[in-house]
Amino acid sequence: MIEFRLDSRTGVTTYLQLVQQVRHALRLGHLRPGDQLPTVREVVAKLAINPNTVLKAYRDLEREGLVAGRPGTGTFVRENVQIGPRAGQAALRSGLSRWMQRAREAGLDETDLRALFEEAVRQDAEYPAAEAAP
């Protein structure tokens, strides 16, 4: 069982924070196949958030195939869910290291790096590559 927490400073919506925390817990192995997620009632009673927000987050996780709702009992991590580092993650990680090395050589500091990275992530979320304007 995981416990959700909210960070009000990130600017990330509550719904997305819940989704990300489940994905993160799966990747780190804090959540395993068969584990139950807190019930909607438990989450709202603890965090004082709108129940529809939790439902929406759980629906999204369900659509991704990570969890499944069982009527009357709750929401559980699916048995066949793939956990752990994704294929290709190591290669991406070392590619990122090389990119950081180049950025350092170009004189960027940590703040510059973060700003650049966050900007790229945001742009990607808003305009996925497939739809990007020429």
Partner 1 sequence: MNSVIEARDLGKRFGSTWALHSCSVRIPSGRVVALIGPNGAGKTTFLRLSAGLVEPTAGHIEVLGWSPQAQPTLVLPRIGFVAQERPLYGRFKVKELLELGRRLNPRWDADLAQSRMKRLGIPLERPARQLSGGHRAQVALTMVLAKRPDMLLLDEPVAGLDPLARREFLQNLMEAVADNNLSVVLSSHIVSELERTCDYLIILGEGQIQVAGGIDDLVNQHRVLVGPRAGHEVEGDPTVIRFSHTERQTTLLVRTDGRGISPEWEVHQVGLEDIVLAYLSRPTARSIPRPELAESPAGRP
Binding site for partner 1 (CB under 8 A): 6, 8, 11, 13-15, 40-41, 44-53, 122, 126
List, as one string, the DSSP characters of 23-64. HHHHHHTSS-TTPBPPPHHHHHHHH---HHHHHHHHHHHHHT
**Residue 83 · residue 32 · CB < 8 Å:** yes
Q: Shortest approach of partner 1 to residue 36 CB, angstroms?
A: 17
Q: Quick one: 14 or 75, whose CB is closer to partner 1?
A: 14
Q: Are 60 and 14 in contact (CB under 8 A)?
A: no
> Please, which residue, 44 or 103, has the CB nearer to partner 1?
44
Cα gap 70→39, rounded to integer Å: 11
Question: CB of residue 2 vs partner 1: minimum separation in angstroms?
Answer: 19
- Least CB distance to partner 1 at residue 22 (A): 18
From the CB of 91, what's the least distance to partner 1, in Å? 31
Quick one: which of 52, 80, 87 has its CA closest to 66? 80
Taking the least distance from each CB to partner 1, the nearer of 48 and 87 is 48
